[in-house]
Amino acid sequence: MTNPAKPKSSKPDAFVMDANRLDALIGALASSGHAVMGPRVADGAVILGPVAGAADLPLGVTDRQEPGRYRLKTVKKDPAYFDFAVGPHTWKKFLFPPREKLWSAERAAKGFAVREDGIDAARRDKLAFVGVRACELAAIAAQDRVLTGGEYRSETYALRREQTFIVAVNCRTSAATCFCASMNTGPGVGAGHDLALTELGGGKDHRFLVEVGSTRGEKVLMALNAKPAKPKDVAAARAAVAQAAKGQRKMPKSAPTVLAGATDSPRWADIAQRCLNCASCTQVCPTCFCNTVTDTTTLDGSGAERWRHWDSCFTLDFSYIHGGAIRGDGAHRYRQWMTHKLSHWFEQFGTSGCVGCGRCITWCPVGIDITLEARGFVKDAKGKRKG
């Protein structure tokens, strides 16, 4: 599912607005009935939550990320609104909530009265996201394919997704854990946005290049009186994004094929020694979609509820069938996650399941680096070919 594409016209696609107009943009989205979500600082991280205005955004905040470590820093000179990389939260927490009541039932005179709480709540959720990065747009597109594109459609996800307005942001900096460039998902925004911002200049010259991605995006922007962009603004934005791609981690190109043939590698056992099987990687991953449902009943048996919640292939219960868990060993569970994400996802959904955001690297409590592990498998495969 994509947002309605903007019809081709002679009107310009790129505009420039003063940085202080960001507040007006958030205000416009709020006044058109959106609950505006964006980045903000909480508990030592840039998280995603409700933003009432530009003052809520992490102005002047940057981050230092490495495997298993995340720290914020504040910049005094020419503070920018979006010079940090992705944090611990993902937009899936809004589109595909960790816990969602799907329906409830109350005993009636005859049978049960069923209420579709999930659909009702999703219908009320008119969201606007401010600050969605290129990798995150790719992740949302991946979840679209999984949750709306096939046989097992989530109606609540589809409803939320349809109503969501997306203001994307082009990255001008990367964290050391980012590897979007090698996954071809960033750092520049490609598709899936209503508006895309690139931060330019600083101080008095602090401004945004605003590019239009949809007709509804254009409508919102026109009300903000942005001026058509000059070629030098567009060039500056492109140069900044190109700069962000430098110095990133890299996922080896051959990872999908190499991993498909590495089922019996001794590396899985080596990783399992370090892996806590805590499932953090799957919970912070913007594409991981595994979920389960549980039914609850009231004490007096008069009511029942069905809840959907995030699950993870790292738990024993996930692969539990009659007689026990299929993936009893941590090695099997890490293998399932990594090979699905980087390899089998292609067969299932036509793309990689990894967008290169690097969250699984930063938020792994013991700092396991998926790119480094992939390189290990690639090295083994090369060795085998030579030998």
Partner 1 sequence: MAAKTAGKPKLAVWKFSSCDGCQLSLLDCEDELLDVVGAVEIAYFLEATRAKVAGPYDVSLVEGSVTTPEEAERIQTIRRQSKVLISIGACATAGGIQALKNFADVADFVTAVYAHPEYIETLATATPIADHVPVDLELRGCPINKAQLLEVLGAFLAGRKPNLPNHGQCMECKQAGTVCVMVTKGEACLGPVTHAGCGNVCPPFARGCFGCFGPKENPNTAALAARLGELGLDKRQRRDAFRGFTAAAPAFRKESETHE
Position 321 contacts partner 1 (CB under 8 A): no
**Crossing angle (nearest 10°) for helices 215-222 and 22-31:** 120
Integer Cα distance of 317 and 339 in angstroms:
20
Residue 309 contacts partner 1 per CB under 8 A: yes
Q: Which of 4, 12, 44, 150 binds partner 1 (CB under 8 A)?
A: 44
The bridge status of strand 324-325 relative to strand 291-297 is unpaired
Give the x/- contact pattern for partner 1 in 47-66, rule: CB under 8 A: x-------------------
Please tell me whether residue 10 binds partner 1 under the rule CB under 8 A.
Answer: no
Closest CA to 217 of 191, 202, 195, 196: 195
| Beta carbon nearer to partner 1, 208 or 337 | 337
The residues in 84-143 that bind partner 1, with binding defined as CB under 8 A, are 88-89, 93, 98-99
Contact call for residue 264 and partner 1 (CB under 8 A) = no
Minimal distance, residue 180 CB to partner 1, in Å: 20
DSSP 194: S
Q: Would you count residue 275 as binding partner 1 (CB under 8 A)? A: yes
Q: Can you name the residues that pair with 140 across neighbouring β-strands? A: none
- Of 19, 29, 37, 45, the one binding partner 1 (CB under 8 A) is 45
**Looking at 164, 198, 283, 343, which residue binds partner 1 (CB under 8 A)?**
283
Q: What's the CA gap between 355 and 142, in Å, rounded?
A: 9
CB of 22 to partner 1, least distance (A): 24
Whether the CA torsion 210, 215, 218, 220 is positive or negative: it is negative
Rounded Cα gap, residues 39 and 50, in angstroms: 8
Q: Does 81 bind partner 1 (CB under 8 A)?
A: no
Sign of CA dihedral 25, 29, 30, 35: negative
Give the three-state DSSP class for 367: coil
Q: Does 299 bind partner 1 (CB under 8 A)?
A: yes
Residues 187-216 that bind partner 1 (CB under 8 A): none
Nearest approach, Cβ of residue 333 and partner 1 (Å): 9
As a dihedral over the C-alpha atoms of residue 280, residue 281, residue 282, residue 283, rounded to 10 degrees, the angle is 50
User: Shortest gap between Cβ of 98 and partner 1 (angstroms)?
Assistant: 4
The answer to whether 174 touches 248, Cβ cutoff 8 Å, is yes
Instruction: Give the CA count within 13 Å in the CB-facing half-sphere of 167.
Output: 26
340 close to 263: Cβ distance less than 8 angstroms = no
# binding residues, partner 1 (CB under 8 A): 46
Does 316 bind partner 1 (CB under 8 A)? Our answer is yes
| DSSP state letter for 5 | B
Shorter beta-carbon distance to partner 1: residue 151 or 300: 300
Q: Which stretch binds partner 1 (CB under 8 A): 31-39, 68-76, 143-151, 249-257?
A: 68-76
Separation of alpha carbons 198 and 167, rounded Å: 11
Max CA distance (Å), the chain: 75
Query: Is residue 296 involved in binding partner 1 (CB under 8 A)?
Result: yes
Among 70, 96, 165, 208, interactor with partner 1 by CB under 8 A: 70
* 38 touches 131 (CB < 8 A): yes
Residue 280 engages partner 1 in binding (rule: CB under 8 A): yes
Out of 27, 53, 60, 68, point to the residue binding partner 1 (CB under 8 A): 68
Q: Name the minimum Å distance from CB 373 to partner 1.
A: 15
- Sites of contact with partner 1 (CB under 8 A): 42-45, 47, 68-71, 88-89, 93, 98-99, 272-280, 283-284, 294-301, 309-310, 312, 314-317, 328, 330, 362-363, 365-366
